[in-house]
């Protein structure tokens, strides 16, 4: 049986043969010294150097070290999400393999989450934080990315940090779809959290190996920020807007039905020579069929998984509701005109609206139900 585990330390890697053994050793040492029962999860994107055999060898002799090798959808953020999925504990720590993040700080992140914070962010830009030995170009790019992230999350000084910890419930079930490097921004945008604490740290540029940051990474980041803005707008307005969209579509379909009805009534009576009441029955029925088909393939398309048998019963239900609507319309017309003395065209308008409300609500809950 697996040992109990209080912390999962996720290390994303790509070609880190110079650093990986040392960082595992350092993280393991910090966990042991601080009495934290933790696992170390290396999530590798099919490195071309010796990273994989090195980690395999370590995990063969050290039970708390695991290796995940990914062969598809290459990316730092995607690897971290995969790490979250496989992690055994409820506190998830992310750290780079190249010692740009000091492993000695891991216990502070761990305690912050245990103390009730949802997210603990390692910050280079809060008091006590800093960056050592970065070229000017890298500083400018980072400041740009950070400034952009701070528009979305003003209360957080380093929303693009790669050094952070989260409670599992923040990310479980969150629709994370990150690309590129900025996994923390994605979590802040789409995860479930209330409290964030910041832990200052000094970012040291790697001594071994090379950064994998590319120009495309910035494009990914901008796209990701756009996705987060869209997500938060939809999260607030989505369900209401989706329902109104259906109401508007249902109304437009109803309007098309009026044209079908009037056109057929005219054609069957004037051209085919049928008695006008016979034409009216055919016209009403065919406009109901018209409305059903359009509502089925358009208005409620997102709800139904169309199966023939169900479709027949949906039509039966729609037909019955429409007849009910017709009765409501007629009853309103009669009562308002004859009993209340309202002008008959105004009364009819009230009847049409009442029937529309009936048709929409009853069909929404009985005909096109999930």
When the beta carbons of 76 and 321 are compared against ligand GDD, the nearer one is 76
Q: Find the residue with minimal CB distance to ligand GDD.
A: 162
Least CB distance to ligand GDD at residue 235 (A): 24
Least CB distance to ligand GDD at residue 96 (A): 4
When the beta carbons of 184 and 265 are compared against ligand GDD, the nearer one is 184
When the beta carbons of 75 and 129 are compared against ligand GDD, the nearer one is 75
When the beta carbons of 211 and 232 are compared against ligand GDD, the nearer one is 211
Least CB distance to ligand GDD at residue 161 (A): 6
When the beta carbons of 38 and 75 are compared against ligand GDD, the nearer one is 75
Least CB distance to ligand GDD at residue 186 (A): 11
Q: Is 98 exposed, middle or buried (0-12, 13-18, 19+ CB in 10 A)?
A: buried
When the beta carbons of 13 and 64 are compared against ligand GDD, the nearer one is 13
- Among residues 370, 145, 339, which one has the least CA distance to residue 246? 370
Cβ contact 59:35 at 8 Å = no
Least CB distance to ligand GDD at residue 72 (A): 12
When the beta carbons of 182 and 246 are compared against ligand GDD, the nearer one is 182
Which residues are at the interface with ligand GDD (CB under 6 A)? 12-14, 16, 43-45, 74-76, 79, 96-98, 100, 142, 160, 162, 181-182, 206, 211-213
Least CB distance to ligand GDD at residue 234 (A): 26
Least CB distance to ligand GDD at residue 236 (A): 28
């Amino acid at each position: 049986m697996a040992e109990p585990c209080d912390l999962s330390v996720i290390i994303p890697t790509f070609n880190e043969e110079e650093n990986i053994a040392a960082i595992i050793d350092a993280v393991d040492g910090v966990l042991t010294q601080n009495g934290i029962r933790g696992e170390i999860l290396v999530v590798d994107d099919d490195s071309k150097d010796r990273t994989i055999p090195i980690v395999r060898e370590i995990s063969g002799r050290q039970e708390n070290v695991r290796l995940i090798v990914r062969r598809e959808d290459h990316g730092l953020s995607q690897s971290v999400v995969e790490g979250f999925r496989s992690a055994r504990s409820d506190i998830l720590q992310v750290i780079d393999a190249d010692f740009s993040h000091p492993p000695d700080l891991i216990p502070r992140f761990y305690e912050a989450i245990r103390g009730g914070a949802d997210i603990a962010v390692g910050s280079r830009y809060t008091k006590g934080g800093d960056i050592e030995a970065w070229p000017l170009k890298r500083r400018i790019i980072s400041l740009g990315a950070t400034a952009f992230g701070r528009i979305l999350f003003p209360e957080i000084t380093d929303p693009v940090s790669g050094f952070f910890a989260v409670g599992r419930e923040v990310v479980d079930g969150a629709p994370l779809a990150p690309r590129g490097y900025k996994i923390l921004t994605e979590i802040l945008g789409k995860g479930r959290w209330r409290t964030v604490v910041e832990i200052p740290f000094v970012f040291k540029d790697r001594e071994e190996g090379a950064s994998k940051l590319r120009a495309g990474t910035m494009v990914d980041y901008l796209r990701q920020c756009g996705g987060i803005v869209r997500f938060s707008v939809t999260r607030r307005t989505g369900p209401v807007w989706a329902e109104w969209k259906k109401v508007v579509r249902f109304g437009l379909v109803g309007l098309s039905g009026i044209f079908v009805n009037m056109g057929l009534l005219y054609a069957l009576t004037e051209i085919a020579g049928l008695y006008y009441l016979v034409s009216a029955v055919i016209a009403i029925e065919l406009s109901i069929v018209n409305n059903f088909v359009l509502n089925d393939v358009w208005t409620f398309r997102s709800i139904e998984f169309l199966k023939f048998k169900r479709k027949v019963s949906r039509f039966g239900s729609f037909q019955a509701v429409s007849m009910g609507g017709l009765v409501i319309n007629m009853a309103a017309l009669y009562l308002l005109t004859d009993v209340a003395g309202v002008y008959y065209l105004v009364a009819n308008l009230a009847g049409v609206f009442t029937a529309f409300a009936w048709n929409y609500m009853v069909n929404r809950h009985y005909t096109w139900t999930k």
